[in-house]
Amino acid sequence: MSMISHRIGSAFVALFFMLALPAFAQSTVKFDKEPLVIQTAAGKKIGFVVEIADTNEQRQRGLMYRKEMADDAGMIFDFGTSKRVQMWMENTVLPLDMLFIDRAGTIRGIKQNAVPFSRDIIDSVTDVKYVLELNAGASAKLGIKSGDTVVSATIAKYK
């Protein structure tokens, strides 16, 4: 094989991996769904249908690469134990609100309008067991605040 054909062959291999890598990164990860209700201090009940991320693979994928999400949808991350959690938005197209929730289902903090594609760390600051991701602006629009309660089958099974 001549040096030129070897370089052309190498270029094609490199091009294949550059084009194929995003497809591999976006490979399908399956998530179960469940209804979830946020009960505000004012007595309002707000319903969602959320996907459950409770395995390492699911938590690592999260909402990455998604281009849209229904207003009444979201994703709950179950970390298995209460701990300080750090999230980021790399490869996440949608702006999100992140609700940090303790073992009992109480919202301990909210990061509103997390910036798409950002590698900045979003820290729970306190120990939490769950993070609920909703479309950006949902918490402000719906009046969701720290101290409100989140009820779902995922949270109920550990109470």
> Tens digit of pLDDT for each residue in 85-115?
999 999 999 999 999 999 999 999 999 999 9
Percentage of the residues of the chain whose pLDDT score is greater than 90: 80
Return the structure tokens found at 58.
């699911």
Percentage of the residues of the chain whose pLDDT score is greater than 70: 82
The Cα 151–Cα 130 span in angstroms is 12
Q: Which amino acid is at 155?
A: I
User: Predicted confidence band at 4 (pLDDT cuts at 50, 70, 90)?
Assistant: low
The Cα 80–Cα 84 span in angstroms is 12
Q: What pLDDT shows up at residue 9?
A: 47
> Given a cut of 80, is residue 26 above it in pLDDT?
no
- Distances from the Cα of 48 to the Cα of 97, 117, 142, angstroms: 14, 25, 12
Is pTM beyond 0.85? Reply is: no
> Given a cut of 90, is residue 51 above it in pLDDT?
yes
Candidates 86, 87, 91, 97; CA nearest to 117 is: 91
Alpha-helical runs (H) found in 26-145: 56-61, 138-142
Q: What pLDDT shows up at residue 140?
A: 97
Query: With b meaning 16 or more CB within 10 Å and e meaning fewer, what string describes 29-59?
Result: eebeeeebebebeeeeebebebbbbeeeebb
> Given a cut of 60, is residue 20 above it in pLDDT?
no
Q: What pLDDT shows up at residue 159?
A: 58
State which fold the 31-156 domain adopts: Jelly Rolls (2.60.120)
Candidates 77, 83, 69; CA nearest to 116 is: 69
Q: Looking at 4-18, 57-71, 74-88, which range is the least confident one? A: 4-18
Average pLDDT, the chain: 88
